[in-house]
Amino acid sequence: MTLTAPPAVTQVIDVGLGPVSIQDVVDVARHGHGVNLTAEARAEMARTRRRIEDLAADPRPVYGVSTGFGALATRHIPPHLRTQLQRSLIRSHAAGSGPEVEREVVRALMLLRLSTLATGRTGVRVEVAQAYADLLTAGITPVVHEYGSLGCSGDLAPLAHIALAVTGEGTVRTADGRLLDSADALAEHGLTPVVLAEKEGLALINGTDGMLGQLALAVTDLDHLLKLADIAAAMSVEGLLGTDRVFAADLQALRPHPGQAAAAANMARLLADSPIVASHAGPEDTRVQDAYSLRCAPQVAGGARDTVEHARTVAHRELASAVDNPVVTLDGRVESNGNFHGAPVAYVLDFLAIVAADVASISERRTDRFLDVARNHGLPPFLADDPGVDSGLMIAQYTQAAIVSELKRLAAPASVDSIPSSAMQEDHVSMGWSGARKLRRAVDGLTRVLSIEILTAARGIDLRSPLLPAAGTGAVVRALREMVPGPGTDRFLAPEIEQAAALAASGALVAAAETAIGALQ
């Protein structure tokens, strides 16, 4: 299955014997990069395929090569039925239901399955792996559905929908978003459907690629959002007339968590030389200490950072894995194993959903302080222009609170659940795919919560005029003001919240701060 006329792609990454990186996953999934199978990978796949073909000719049954699957593994399948066996496996396992999964998730999943195929440990033919490379490079994305994976024996249903597409069945989306039958889309790009041989159907669906791809994307998103959380916290400290003294490096060193130190350093730099902070830093300020949501911002954001780092470590280990069952070992044995169980990935997906909920929770508490005259130190109620006539940002906080409540529900772990399947052969499953799906919603919710805090804090800072903010926080306010007006009478608020969320998600707000004060940690 080869491309007769390669489509225009901006860049191509190599997929070989070693792991792809998290950045490779992002580049292929989000930025449309194509892929190239290395010569070393092709040679290793060809070598191990010969071992599978030898076993296929052996009269003794070998699981995954000449037998049925799962609870049906006891049946020996004669050679003339093995093509049908592979086709039936893929068709029956492509049983997903519900809405379409996002294009970037499917592309990440495809790349990661290709990466495992390229190790040579699965025993598939080179042309099968090339089929995945061709689909990615052509921008053809199989339709995968929300429900169907239990996160054990691999992300079976999602992976089966992709395998179905390379055989010319099922539906796909083209690069321009058209929904086509797979056979028609392949024909448009000069591609020929694959006919699967022994072991290949199983190799295409036995992997943690769906949950791992979403983990890689989430880690990337949270790296950005935790910088944004530090910006939001610094803006709130400034707008609420808080102190920056608690962010001092020597105080953080007394509790040497690396994430906490990084978050505090970011907040200190963002508030450096702030005229607003300086205006109340003398002995006339009678407040002893700020509320926890301000004072403990580095501890919460720092704990979140350290959790992301743990998740990144798990992701790197999984990216370096060759997950299949059975697997072809380096010395040529074909062995059954349990490496497809998603538990290690499922746990950190759940951890990150907890992180997203808690970072959002402390953000909402800071927003609420701005709106309450008993706690906002001289600002108008709800930051309204004419309180009573105007409601200001009252309901923006309601929206935040609704999202935070949802995030708390999404933080309930999926990985502690298990529903037996396959006639009790698969009697403990990870539910990692479910954990990944709820984490994606949590990341979106966190983005929106932080954007509302920044929207609120920016108005609070503006209302401190003629006092000016620090260079870092001021740059963020100016970037926001390019899209969202400052204080005034009540306006249609929903579009402003969406504009702030778009700026937050795009990286524009973090970029504005970093342009002013340098890279954040």
Total count of residues recorded for the chain: 521
Give yes or no: 63 in active site.
yes
Q: Under a CB-based contact definition with an 8 Å cutoff, are residues 337 and 343 in contact?
A: no
Tokens of 71: 């609870």
326 prior amide bond cis, ω within 30? yes
- The Cα–Cα gap between 424 and 181 comes to 35
**How many C-beta atoms lie closer than 10 Å to residue 338's C-beta?**
10
Tokens of 407: 């995030």
Find the catalytic residue in 63, 132, 147, 398: 63
CA angle 299–305–311, rounded 5-degree value: 140
Cβ-proximal residues to 104 (8 Å cutoff; 6+ apart), any chain = 29, 30, 217
Q: For the sheet containing 171-173, what is the strand order?
A: 141-142, 171-173, 179-181
Of the candidates 407, 458, 521, the residue with the CA atom closest to the CA atom of residue 232: 458
Cβ-proximal residues to 188 (8 Å cutoff; 6+ apart), any chain = 174, 180
Q: Under a CB-based contact definition with an 8 Å cutoff, are residues 376 and 294 in contact?
A: no
Residue 15 three-state SS? strand
Q: Which residues are catalytic, by number?
A: 63
